[in-house]
């Protein structure tokens, strides 16, 4: 079990590119004990490559150790986050514990809507404003690093700072050989199912379709499966599971591929042929279908469990295999603490970062918010005690076969053309091969226009 969970280890995260002049990056002299991510002999793994085993894991039990601050003057650290509900409450409780230590540090939390975070950061940070720390998904690491918004932690951290994390949550935070954050949690989509109607979740694509058809009545607006199928993020499990990609290791656009065509054909069959999935559902609507008994199964992430009504009995399972030996492989996202490149309070902010990712802090978030934390020892302790929440276990099992979303700036030019292709296929306006060919050309042009030089 442990070996299975030491996937995507740190030696595979390097990139052979040189960082452009003027871009925030590693200093010429890096301390010998700094967290190093240097080019390896082995190539960067693709979605199908086998990872190199990681070093021996540290002790399983969460470690309680005293927190000592070196800050001697009263200092306020502002932290922006996009958490809601129980996740926001858990973060607040962790900060309250921090304040109870009586250090000179004060943490000021500010909730920023998820959809607005990127625009706000790009506007205020270059002006010397904004937060000292931000919690956000890792897919913007490359873009924010290139814009000088976030600080590389290479000369500020040591191996001890990353030793307690699941390796697959550290790798996505590395961009051009530098570490740009400390992970808090990982997230991916999995399969929710109503246990009153589906006692055993499907293990194969054919079983998924058969069960979905049993619980679909279009005239009654009841469906066997709901999910935002028109969004690349939720389409990714089928695309990646069949061996498709969006971007290659060198930022080449790989939208137009036989695997991508096959994935779109499968999803179109769910909507058009079997009619078991509603075609125009947003993520916000999925939990409503599930709560109203209008959906027997749902494709969604760990955030949905906080939106399910108390009376609804449900389970969560990894997504089914698409073919023997081909599991569905969703994107893996990592939520991390990142340091404002322009803050004048880096030492104080780094102390806050280290406290927020400590074992005790992760344990609180794990228990209060049911957050799929990045802390390895919290998971090991829960497994050892036999008290691991089944839903949490399902998401961790799903994460084991997930693919880290690209943190390249070029990924930002992929979403719109790919989503347009999916929509045109599901609406019947285009065939998959033609839609993906057009998306490929659009994505290449968009990346080049943005200064990417992405190759076709």
Which residue would you say has higher pLDDT here, 1 or 351? Answer: 351
Q: 102 and 217 in one domain?
A: no
Q: Is 245 exposed, middle or buried (CB count within 10 Å of its CB: 0-12, 13-18, 19+)?
A: buried
Q: Is residue 1 part of a domain?
A: no
Q: Is residue 28 part of a domain?
A: no
Q: What is the mean pLDDT of residues 193-209?
A: 97
Residue 16 has pLDDT above 60, yes or no: no
CA distance 361 to 337: 13
List, for residues 239-298, the tens digit of each pLDDT value: 999 999 999 988 999 999 999 999 999 999 999 999 999 988 888 899 999 999 999 999
pLDDT classification of 154: cutoffs 50, 70, 90 = confident
The closest alpha carbon to 229, from 179, 286, 178, belongs to 286
List, for residues 354-371, the tens digit of each pLDDT value: 999 999 999 999 999 999
Q: 203 and 179 in one domain?
A: no
Q: Is 451 exposed, middle or buried (CB count within 10 Å of its CB: 0-12, 13-18, 19+)?
A: exposed
Q: Is residue 83 part of a domain?
A: yes
Residue 27 has pLDDT above 60, yes or no: no
Q: 84 and 154 in one domain?
A: yes
Q: Is residue 209 part of a domain?
A: yes
Q: Is residue 260 part of a domain?
A: yes
Q: 375 and 253 in one domain?
A: no
Q: 444 and 365 in one domain?
A: no
Q: Is residue 45 part of a domain?
A: no
Residue 211 has pLDDT above 60, yes or no: yes
Residue 232 has pLDDT above 60, yes or no: yes
Q: What is the DSSP string of 1-33?
A: -HHHHS-S-GGG----PPPPTTSS---SS--TT
Supply the CATH number for residue 306's domain: 3.40.190.10
What pLDDT was estimated at residue 63? 59
Q: 154 and 81 in one domain?
A: yes
What pLDDT was estimated at residue 283? 83
Beta strands in 281-397 (DSSP E): 295-300, 314-317, 321-323, 326-327, 331-339
Q: 244 and 200 in one domain?
A: yes
Q: Is 218 exposed, middle or buried (CB count within 10 Å of its CB: 0-12, 13-18, 19+)?
A: exposed
Q: 222 and 320 in one domain?
A: yes
Beta strands in 346-419 (DSSP E): 403-404
Q: Is residue 38 part of a domain?
A: no
Last residue of a domain, one of 384, 404, 424: 404
Residue 65 has pLDDT above 60, yes or no: yes
Q: 280 and 201 in one domain?
A: yes
CA distance 421 to 425: 6
Q: 318 and 430 in one domain?
A: yes
Q: Is residue 432 part of a domain?
A: yes
Bridge partners of 339, per DSSP, are: 133
Q: 240 and 105 in one domain?
A: no
- Expressed as residue numbers, the domain containing 83 is 73-187+331-404
List, for residues 312-356, the tens digit of each pLDDT value: 999 999 999 999 999 999 999 999 999 999 999 999 999 999 999
CA distance 215 to 425: 25
Buried b / exposed e along 119-139 (16+ C-beta atoms within 10 A): ebbeebbeeeebbbbbbbbbb
Neighbouring C-beta atoms of residue 291, cutoff 10 Å: 15
What pLDDT was estimated at residue 435? 98
Residue 32 has pLDDT above 50, yes or no: no
What pLDDT was estimated at residue 314? 97
Q: 162 and 149 in one domain?
A: yes
Q: How many structural domains is the chain composed of?
A: 2
């Amino acid at each position: 079990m442990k070996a299975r969970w030491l996937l995507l280890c740190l030696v595979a995260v390097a990139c052979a590119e040189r960082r452009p002049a003027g871009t925030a990056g590693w200093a010429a002299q890096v301390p010998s004990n700094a967290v190093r991510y240097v080019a390896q002999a082995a190539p960067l793994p693709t979605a199908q490559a086998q990872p190199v085993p990681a070093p021996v894991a540290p002790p399983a039990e969460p470690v309680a150790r005293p927190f000592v601050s070196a800050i001697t003057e009263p200092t306020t650290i502002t932290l922006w986050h996009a958490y809601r509900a129980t996740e926001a409450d858990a973060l607040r409780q962790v900060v309250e514990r921090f304040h109870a230590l009586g250090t000179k540090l004060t943490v000021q939390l500010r909730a920023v809507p998820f959809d607005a975070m990127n625009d706000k950061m790009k506007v205020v940070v270059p002006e010397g404003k904004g937060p000292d720390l931000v919690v956000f998904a890792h897919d913007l690491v490359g873009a924010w690093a290139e814009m000088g918004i976030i600080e590389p932690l290479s000369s500020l951290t040591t191996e001890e700072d990353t030793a307690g994390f699941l390796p697959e949550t550290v790798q996505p935070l590395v961009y051009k050989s530098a570490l740009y954050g400390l992970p808090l949690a990982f997230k991916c989509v999995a399969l929710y199912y109503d246990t009153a109607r589906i006692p055993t979740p499907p293990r194969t694509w054919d079983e998924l379709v058969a069960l979905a058809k049993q619980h679909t009545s279009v005239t009654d607006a009841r469906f066997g499966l709901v999910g935002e199928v028109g969004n690349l993020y939720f389409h990714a499990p089928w695309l990646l599971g069949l061996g498709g990609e969006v971007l290659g290791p060198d930022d080449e656009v790989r939208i137009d591929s036989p695997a991508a065509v096959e994935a779109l054909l499968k999803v179109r069959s769910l909507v058009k042929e079997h009619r078991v999935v509603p075609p125009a559902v947003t993520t916000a609507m999925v939990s409503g279908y599930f709560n109203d008994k209008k959906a027997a199964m749902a494709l969604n992430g760990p955030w949905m469990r906080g939106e399910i009504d108390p009376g609804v009995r449900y389970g969560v399972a990894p997504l089914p295999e698409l073919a023997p030996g081909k599991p569905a492989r969703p994107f893996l996202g990592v939520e991390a603490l990142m340091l404002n490149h322009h803050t004048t309070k880096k030492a104080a902010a780094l102390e806050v970062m280290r406290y927020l990712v400590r074992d005790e802090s992760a344990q609180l978030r794990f228990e209060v918010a049911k957050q799929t934390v990045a802390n390895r020892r919290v998971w090991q302790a829960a497994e050892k005690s036999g008290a691991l929440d089944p839903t949490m276990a399902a998401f961790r099992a799903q994460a084991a076969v997930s693919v880290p979303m690209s943190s390249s700036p070029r990924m930002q030019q992929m979403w719109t053309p790919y989503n347009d292709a999916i929509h045109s296929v599901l609406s019947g306006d285009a065939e998959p091969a033609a839609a993906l060919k057009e998306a490929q050309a659009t994505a290449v042009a968009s990346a080049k226009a943005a200064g990417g030089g992405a190759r076709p």
